[in-house]
Amino acid sequence: MRISIRMNLVKIHDFLWEIPRQGAMLVPGRLYVSASMLEDLRGDPALTQVANVACLPGIVGYALAMPDVHWGYGFPIGGVAAIDARAGVISPGGVGYDINCGVRLARTNLRYEDVTPKVDRLADALFSAIPAGVGSEGAIPSLSMEELRHLVQEGAEWALRHGYASQEDLDHTEEGGRLPMAQSEKVSEHAYQRGRKQLGTLGSGNHFLEVSRVDQIYQPRVAAALGLELGQVTLLIHSGSRGLGHQTCDDYLRIIGSAMAKYEIVLPDRQLAAVPIASPEGQDYLGAMAAAANFAWCNRQVMMHLATNAFIAALGISRRELGLTLIYDVCHNIAKFEDHIVDGVKRLLCVHRKGATRAFGPGHAEIPRTYRHLGQPVLIPGDMGRYSFVLIGLEGAMRETFGSSCHGAGRLMSRTQAKREARGRDLFAELRALGVTVRAQSRAGVAEEMPASYKDVAEVVEVLEAARVTQRVARLKPLAVIKG
């Protein structure tokens, strides 16, 4: 079954467009994009994917696409779907291969001028302390299988128990760094083997560790509440569940794909493979997905601990002088059970966010108490040559997007195209000219992620600000970037 989207999109306002319901679509699709972004998307398979997602049994409201939308596996990256938790389905394609890929932001007591004279030394120390690249491992001693099973049940609490975290870290991590529905026994032995040496490692692709400086403040009151000020040095970490999460997705795509016929589920794309949430296969996937998500939270927490030690050693300062403090950790690529108002009625939904970030508005009980009056911090990394943004969730997100925002800039070029465009160029020198020091395992990895391969993240966040979903708080400019 195929859905054609050769149609006229309906303009809701300057930054919101609708794909009318047609064929097997159960709800319309909605795209948060500017007119120029929409032109770039014409003919893009991501639009067809939005329409396909609208066919999932139990979907409510709309199939949503954030302004960083681009083609992905099953769901578009930048896709959001809210599914009725009692009568709907779960789709691994709506979570993705890198389960709980996410971003954490920490602030320091350091100023830009404190770091610039020693930026090469700092970059070397971070690159040495935190393994990066495909298959990277060895940040901490290899875990036994028994210990790894404890870890995927406990998430960031495992890091706290082993001295890699403080309670304050957990208090400023989404879900406290742990999904209690994790079931360690639902993760395959193969997945465990792939992950057992990878705790505290960055990985490859678009994952990175970045030392940045705050170069613009848009909302002084909110920035002050987050502990951010102009000229301050910050740390961004973007990574996920590594081989354990990738294998878990692979395992359950096969299981769920094979089980669809049993539940008489027919969808326009086999990559959208889905089963009822209440089914044995659905419950098993949720338990394994949560376990992989817990691994990811622990992974980012351990990397922050390793980065702290690298800062101290490279700059010759004390832990107190550094003052590395977690502001927040948000996850992408996850499905979570949340209460939302639909047609005036509160409903329990399973919200799939693939390449999308939670962005709850002020007063929501899931936001850490210290930020609850503000709204949830939303962390949006850009490319390694320009800037990233700290946003805050608004009440409009709760009305419009099931409390969701974009998660990054979104690719303009495929990795193959980016490498082709980078031929003959000294990308390290180009980035150095922009004031960015890069350490990477390979030139190819830098070529795939060069700035021109991404949309300008400023345009992406402006769309959601104009739509009153999120609001910009601060802009971060990169100083040093560690890549796989």
**pLDDT 10s per residue in the chain (484 long)?**
444 545 579 999 999 999 999 999 999 999 999 999 999 888 889 999 999 999 999 999 999 999 999 999 999 999 999 999 999 999 999 999 999 999 999 999 999 999 999 999 999 999 999 998 888 888 888 899 999 999 999 999 999 999 999 999 999 999 999 999 999 999 999 999 999 999 999 999 899 999 999 999 999 999 999 999 999 999 999 999 999 999 999 999 999 999 999 999 999 999 999 999 999 999 999 999 999 999 999 999 999 999 999 999 999 999 999 999 999 999 999 999 999 999 999 999 999 999 999 999 999 999 999 999 999 999 999 999 999 999 999 999 999 999 999 999 988 888 899 999 999 899 999 999 999 999 998 888 899 999 999 999 999 999 999 999 999 999 999 999 999 8
Within a 10 A sphere around the Cβ of 375, how many other Cβ atoms? 25
User: Is the Cβ–Cβ distance between 399 and 359 less than 8 Å?
Assistant: no
pLDDT in tens, 135-190: 888 888 889 999 999 999 999 999 999 999 999 999 999 999 999 999 999 999 99
The reply to whether 340 belongs to the active site is no
pLDDT in tens, 111-140: 999 999 999 999 999 999 999 888 888 888
Tokens of 326: 């977690």
Q: What does the H/E/C string look like for 96-157?
A: CCCCCCEEEEEEEEEEHHHHHHHHHHHHHHHHHHCCCCCCCCCCCCCCCHHHHHHHHHHCHH
What pLDDT shows up at residue 1?
Answer: 41
User: Is the Cβ–Cβ distance between 362 and 376 less than 8 Å?
Assistant: no
- Residue 119 CA to residue 126 CA, distance in Å, equals 10
Q: Is residue 225 part of a domain?
A: yes
- Residue 210 CA to residue 57 CA, distance in Å, equals 40
Place of tokens 């993760």: 187
Contacts of 305 (CB under 8 A, 6+ apart): 159, 164, 165, 200
Burial degree of 459 (CB within 10 A; 0-12, 13-18, 19+)? middle
What pLDDT shows up at residue 7?
Answer: 56
pTM above 0.75, yes or no: yes
Looking at the structure of the chain, the number of domains it has is 1
- Residue 210 CA to residue 389 CA, distance in Å, equals 13
- Residue 481 CA to residue 123 CA, distance in Å, equals 7
Q: Is residue 379 part of a domain?
A: yes
Distances (CA, A) of 443 to 36, 259, 415, 421, 424: 32, 42, 13, 13, 11
Q: Is residue 62 part of a domain?
A: no
User: Is the Cβ–Cβ distance between 435 and 479 less than 8 Å?
Assistant: yes
Question: Which CATH number fits the domain that encloses residue 146?
Answer: 3.90.1860.10
Structural domain range at position 263: 102-336+364-483
Q: Is residue 422 part of a domain?
A: yes
Q: Is residue 47 part of a domain?
A: no
